[in-house]
Structure 1
Amino acid sequence: MQELKDLTFTMDTQIVFGNLCISKLKEALKNNNFNRALLVSDNGLKESGILDKVTASLSDKNIVIATFIDIAPNPTVANVESAYRFAQDFQPDVIIGVGGGSPLDAAKVLAILMTNDQKVIDLEGIEKYENPPLPLVAIPTTAGTGSEVTVFSVITDSDREYKITIGGRSMAPKWAFVDPDLTLSLPRHITASTGLDALVHAIESYTSTMSSPMSELFSMKAIEIISANLRQAVFNGNNLQARSAMIYGSLLAGIAFNNTRLGNVHAMSHPLSAIYHAPHGIANAVLLPTVMNFNLLACPEKYANIAQLMGEPLDNNLSLTKNAEKSLYAVQKLSADIGIPGDFSDFNVEKDSINIMAKDAMKSGNVLVNPRKTTLEDIINLYQEIIR
């Protein structure tokens, strides 16, 4: 653990965790006198029946429910604007985001629009709104984003092919209902990509220059839990114990990076998703080993700890750097085992766009907290290592 110092640690969300815990959702709404609930989700969750489980848990003559499901995998400004027009007609007193990071991020921004006369693009940055958002409940259905406890939202501006980050202390959901049962039907490839995304959150939080002894309690435990359970969740989706562990690990990672931000992996993944529509979790997973190798000499002790947390025994006969390098092997082995691609060839990423993507990546505040000081040239070189 690093030297104790002054720190600020926030956790603004009331967390309800446990299998079938959404059965308590109706009581929470009634206790807070909410009677018009707008569910924000996506078509996949509607088709899977998961959304029906949530609406069934809210069945009550005194609670009126409306559902908006037009949210894309990388939610766009247009998606949120459509949701806002729908919400203006319905006039909810509470918003319930149901899904992975996309519906949850869209729901967060919608909650701001409902109480502030602003456009989505005007919200880019931190605390760019005045009035507190409409109360928000977050129900994650993947073990990956941690968005149910964070104060950030990422929305794609399709016109600019650029992902904007919107943040604010009051953006954190008021309640998070974290129910492992809702993840049991998650397809294998989504389980894999979102699980690696959660691992990236934990690793980048742990190595962030903003990390603290408090945040490290969460990020280290998340690394350990995710590494030990992701394979089982991928290859036996009905394993409730593994599913519970994964969504718990994702939750811990979310709590951690909500206080530390992230690093170069996330800064570089956003342009890949905005321009080439690479799924966020896949983009992060492919970038992770290369960025870890770049960062390793800046904090070898932490990377050695990561190796150990991921089940790689350290060797006292090896140097610190060699032990730290075991973390790269552990990450690459886990990715390969669960079928994560090793490059971006499936997304037709063109080398000619590297300079544009690098400039966009450098706009991210995550670069500023990366453990190794990073220049534009560094980001270009990192992209070139992966995009051939």
Structure 2
Amino acid sequence: MAAGACACPGTTPFVHEAGPAVDSGPGALARLGDHVLDVHRADRSGGAVVVTDAGLRATGIVDEALAVLAAAGCPTVVVDDVPGNPTVASVEAGAKVVAHAFPGSRPVIVALGGGSALDAAKGIARLAADPSGPGLPLIAVPTTAGTGAETNGFGVLEDPARRCKVYCGDTTTTPRVALLDPLLTHGLPAGPTAATGVDALVHAVESLVSRGRSPVSEAFAAEALRRAWRWLPAACADGGDARARAEMLVAAHLAGQALTRSGLGLVHGLGHAITAHHGVVHGRALAAVLPEVVAFSLGEAPDAWARVTEVLGLPRPTALPGALADWCAAVGVVPGLDAAGLGIGPREVEALAGTAVADPVSRNAPRAGAREDLVGLVTRSLR
């Protein structure tokens, strides 16, 4: 190492690549047709496939999007059977719908919904395209403020046969446009609002301390953390609080921009395992282990944990596990695996630890831990 050089995030080489174009603001959905037509002109493509779920379709939001696309003269089909935890089989089925509706063509995939719809859409965009070419063009319209999945081209799917999460997509399935309309989040009940918001906060925390962090990811993550910490309690207390809803949608997007550049960590490794083994909602699975993972990790990357502490206005890093537990409980997502009502026994603990160790995101944590470490961590989370 040259004299005077130091190994720290500010001097570590990194590459910053632009993500999707962002169209943000109340009423942005009305511009969906314009964005689809822009992609058609740029890509010489035609038609659109809206990927969503039956629950969202029942709210009328899907019909609003279809009306905008119809007004733009865009032929459209709908794939609305995405499950809460999208599976490999559901993506394969969606790709067949696309191939049947638009044979030999490259329609725009419009991902409309929460993280499940956006993740499934990325898989469909990749699988329905020519394997030797880029994925189908994609526009993402999130209706929850949590996953930030509109920022990157990779989705997380469930493989029920192996009881684990798998990753799909590539850089070509990064959305061309992220359309952020906070009005689409106003009807979300307090429970899902809290669970998705916890996901955004964990993205920010893990991005700030991950092994892959850079000055750019840190900037996104710090601002995401500040906003989520301040505004999720307000959004949960009053679902009609327009400021809180808008702030949370931006917080989730910034956290997604951060994780796209830095990667995540052990909270997500364990969260993925809990969801795959027990079907728990993703945000609740994260909250179940968040305080214990943070306590386990504080001995590594002290400067990074000091940054998290500073953003949250806490006196010292050792205050983080308790403060995070209290914050999660205050929004209605109580930490601890017992609180999730899973009835996990010793055999299940071993299985969760094994799945989490094998998840690539766990290795990006400041302290990843061996399998035996995670057995102890999960056991402590049961109390």
TM-score relative to the length of structure 2: 0.92
Whether 1:19 and 2:22 are equivalent positions in the alignment is no
User: What residue in structure 1 maps to residue 5 of structure 2?
Assistant: none
Whether 1:375 and 2:370 are equivalent positions in the alignment is yes
Instruction: Provide the aligned length of Structure 1 versus Structure 2.
Output: 367
Could you tell me whether the CA contact under 8 Å between 2:52 and 2:111 is conserved in 1?
yes
Aligned letter for 1:11? A
Aligned letter for 1:43? A
Shift of 1:257: 0.5
- SS for the counterpart of 1:16 is strand
User: What residue in structure 2 maps to residue 105 of structure 1?
Assistant: 119
- SS for the counterpart of 2:358 is coil
Aligned letter for 1:76? T
Could you tell me whether the CA contact under 8 Å between 1:11 and 1:255 is conserved in 2?
no
1:56 pairs with 50, 63, 67, which one? 67
Q: Residues 335 and 43 of structure 1: is their aligned pair in 2 closer, same or farther, counting only changes over 3 Å?
A: same
Structure 1 residue runs without a partner (length 5+) = 118-129, 315-322
How is 1:129-144 mapped onto 2 (pairs within 5 angstroms)? 130-144=132-146
User: What residue in structure 2 maps to residue 78 of structure 1?
Assistant: 89
User: What residue in structure 2 maps to residue 328 of structure 1?
Assistant: 321
Give percent identity, aligned residues only: 32
Whether 1:239 and 2:241 are equivalent positions in the alignment is yes
Distance 2:169 2:96 in 1: 22
Of 14-23 and 31-40, deviating more is 31-40
Shift of 1:308: 3.0
Could you tell me whether the CA contact under 8 Å between 1:94 and 1:137 is conserved in 2?
yes
Distance 1:353 1:333 in 2: 27
The runs of 4+ residues in structure 1 deviating greater than 6 Å are none
Shift of 1:348: 3.1
How is 1:167-186 mapped onto 2 (pairs within 5 angstroms)? 167-186=169-188
RMSD: 1.6
Aligned letter for 1:250? A
User: What residue in structure 1 maps to residue 213 of structure 2?
Assistant: 211
Distance 2:219 2:19 in 1: 17
Aligned letter for 1:175? V
- SS for the counterpart of 2:139 is strand
Shift of 1:310: 2.1
1:169-203 deviation digits (Å, cap 9, x = unpaired): 22211111011110000110000000000000000
Shift of 1:24: 1.2
Could you tell me whether the CA contact under 8 Å between 1:144 and 1:250 is conserved in 2?
yes
Could you tell me whether the CA contact under 8 Å between 2:9 and 2:213 is conserved in 1?
no
Aligned letter for 2:191? H
Aligned letter for 1:24? R
Shift of 1:328: 2.0
Aligned letter for 1:269? G
Distance 1:161 1:254 in 2: 25
Q: Residues 170 and 47 of structure 1: is their aligned pair in 2 closer, same or farther, counting only changes over 3 Å?
A: same
Whether 1:5 and 2:12 are equivalent positions in the alignment is yes
Could you tell me whether the CA contact under 8 Å between 1:302 and 1:324 is conserved in 2?
no
Could you tell me whether the CA contact under 8 Å between 2:20 and 2:178 is conserved in 1?
yes
Could you tell me whether the CA contact under 8 Å between 1:150 and 1:172 is conserved in 2?
yes
Shift of 1:116: 3.8
How is 1:127-206 mapped onto 2 (pairs within 5 angstroms)? 130-206=132-208
Could you tell me whether the CA contact under 8 Å between 2:136 and 2:173 is conserved in 1?
no
Distance 1:9 1:365 in 2: 22
Shift of 1:365: 1.6
Distance 1:328 1:248 in 2: 25
Distance 2:18 2:378 in 1: 34
Q: Residues 330 and 307 of structure 1: is their aligned pair in 2 closer, same or farther, counting only changes over 3 Å?
A: farther
Shift of 1:231: 0.4
Could you tell me whether the CA contact under 8 Å between 1:37 and 1:63 is conserved in 2?
yes
Whether 1:357 and 2:352 are equivalent positions in the alignment is yes
Structure 2 residue runs without a partner (length 5+) = 1-7
